[in-house]
Amino acid sequence: MDATELARLCKALGDPTRARVFLFLCQCCAQVALDDDGGARPADGPTVGEVCCHITGSPQPSSNLSFHLKELREAGLVTTERRGQRVVCRIDRATLARLAETFAAAQSCCGPDPERTNR
Amino acid sequence: MDATELARLCKALGDPTRARVFLFLCQCCAQVALDDDGGARPADGPTVGEVCCHITGSPQPSSNLSFHLKELREAGLVTTERRGQRVVCRIDRATLARLAETFAAAQSCCGPDPERTNR
DNA sequence: ACGATATTTCGATAACTATTGAAATATCGA
DNA sequence: TCGATATTTCAATAGTTATCGAAATATCGT
């Protein structure tokens, strides 16, 4: 990943509210639901209102959260999908994977030893 | 890592100039030098002037880069050490490791399948 | 101490961003 | 279609941030 894209993604995560949303969606994403035929699938993400409830504590949806979700969506970190009246949110796994790989590569690039043993 | 710290680190990386500096320092960090006794050790990082040269293309140091380095340093992503007239920069491996682990955990939290195979 | 080199700090400014409330849009059930 | 619920868009504002040039600080060699 080049610096421009890294900056774009990190800028989206560089706000406390958005970082909370991101980590919350990662948690939700781990939950598993069962299909009608009994097959396991990733659970649907939380609705915007549920995210709002988790972040702000108040059940009423806020324009502020909508703004932050838009930032995350436009950065490619989050996808949203309308389900009737509600809109469910999910982590974009592909983007997250690229981000994780970028930092893993940066880390291995720096070598295995966190302490300078010589000199 | 909690959302507050994630946001702090990502905010520091959420600027194109700083992202470039970060990736450049990761590269430099991979280089290895030899001690007087022949033991391998991580090479000294580049000086502020060298970073500036790589980022801006011009050899003259800029107050702007100094500002961005300060942001990275205060976020804990970069360390600086004076070597006479020069100041050498390095990635803070411990912070990078925590960041890499956070995204790796977020990713594994989301499960192994990037595609929804069911439904 | 002095001059040269390297880097940081300071002050000003323009651009950007988060927040808020009100209005608009979308979907559903009756 | 109407009312209710869920979400987004819009406009205004206050706070933050990147950039620039000039001045200040630090270190070295002479």
Assess whether B69 (CB) lies less than 7 A from strand C.
yes
- Nearest Cβ partner for A110 among B3, B30, B118: B30
Percent residues over pLDDT 90 in chain B: 70
- Chain B residues whose beta carbon lies within 8 Å of the beta carbon of residue A118: 35, 39-41
CA to C1' distance (Å), from A51 to D7: 12
**CB of A64 within 7 Å of some strand C atom:** yes
Could you tell me where the beta strands, DSSP code E, fall in B2-111? 32-34, 40-42, 78-83, 86-91
Q: Which of A24-38, B28-42, B49-63 has the lowest mean pLDDT?
A: B28-42
Which pLDDT score, from 0 to 100, does residue B109 have? Answer: 73
CA neighbor of B20 nearest in space, from B75, B57, B74 = B57
Q: Give pLDDT tens digits for A57-109.
A: 877 779 999 999 999 999 999 999 999 999 999 999 999 999 999 999 999 87
**Residue A39 in contact with partner chain B when CB distance is under 8 A:** yes
**Could you tell me the pLDDT band of residue A117, with boundaries at 50, 70 and 90?**
very low
Ordered structural domains, chain A, with CATH: 3-30+42-103 (1.10.10.10)
Spacing of B45 CA from D23 C1' in Å: 29
- List, in sequence order, every beta strand (DSSP E) within A54-101: 78-83, 86-91
According to the model, what pLDDT value does residue A110 have? 72
Scanning every residue of chain A, which has its alpha carbon at the shortest distance from the alpha carbon of B42?
A116
- Is the pLDDT assigned to residue A31 strictly greater than 50? yes
Q: How confident is the model at residue B119 (pLDDT cuts 50, 70, 90)?
A: very low
Please check whether residue A6 is in contact with residue A77, taking contact to mean a CB–CB distance below 8 angstroms. no
Mean pLDDT within B82-102: 96
On whether any CB of chain B is under 8 Å from the CB of A38, the answer is: no
Task: Lowest mean pLDDT of A35-44, A94-103, B15-24, name the range.
Answer: A35-44
Question: CB-based contact (8 Å) between A29 and chain B?
Answer: yes
CB A14 to CB B19 under 8 A? Answer: no
pLDDT averaged over chain A?
A: 87
